[in-house]
Amino acid sequence: MRRRIVAGNWKMNGSKDLVQQLVGDIREHVADLDEAVKSTLDVVIIPPALYVDSVIGCCGDALATGVQNVSQWQSGAYTGEISSGMALDLGCQYVLVGHSERRQLFAESDEVIARKVTRVLESGLTAILCVGETLEEREAGQAESIVASQVRQGLSTVSSDQWSRVVVAYEPVWAIGTGKTATAEDAQAMHAEIRGVLEQMNAPSRNISVLYGGSVKADNAAALFAEPDIDGGLIGGASLKADEFVSICRSFPVGA
């Protein structure tokens, strides 16, 4: 059975006070979730790297932790970079790779992203590969081909024994932080496309979690999570509000 995952990407937001209050509130609410839900759900907090240690200290057993980015190199003279080995050493379980903001603002290519995926998996962590098209690409009818290419190239170095530590997050660029969300039907169609690409890559496509991201909120999460190929969400702004984030965690269909 595929894992359900709700991962909160704080982006460049946070403070020591926010960590204490927000993570504490989320931990308490998640601990109160129905046991059947908790048994199949991973709730992940992904703060800025400076706060990872503090978040881990507040998570307890109810929450997992990730980092927003790692280097394509393992170690060396790369001032300002952090390695996947460091993330593992600190106690993280997940790493975001290829977020659209990294692709657009920091010019990360598919080749660089593939090298980062390699480092993450070599370290024993789980890589959450982010893929998604821009509005211009969608309007030009290129959405499926763009996303398929990002999946193929980003995961090109994954070996057969590493697929269990791969998650894909579909985030249409035009929906990130804009308040616009793909309809549940449109999101499902792309998720099914992604699963088809994974199958073509000889990956165990039915066992890989595929998440949706892009202005996910409590009022649209249930419709998205009811779709057969959507296994959870990569949450941005709503992850900074405990009630909203926990409501999203409660949005999976009962018994599914």
Which residues are catalytic, by number?
A: 99, 171
Longest dimension (CA), the chain: 51
Give me the torsion for CA of 223, 227, 231, 233, rounded to 10°: -30
Tokens 């398929």 locate to 148
DSSP structure string for the chain: -PPEEEEEE--S---HHHIIIIIHHHHHHHHTS-HHHHTTEEEEEE--GGGHHHHHHHHTTT-EEEES---SSSSSS-TT---HHHHHHHT--EEEES-HHHHHHS---HHHHHHHHHHHHHTTPEEEEEE---HHHHHTT-HHHHHHHHHHHHTTT--TTTGGGEEEEE--GGGTTTS----HHHHHHHHHHHHHHHHHTT--GGGS-EEEESS--HHHHHHHHTSTT--EEEESGGGGSHHHHHHHHTTSPTT-
77 token code pair: 């003279």
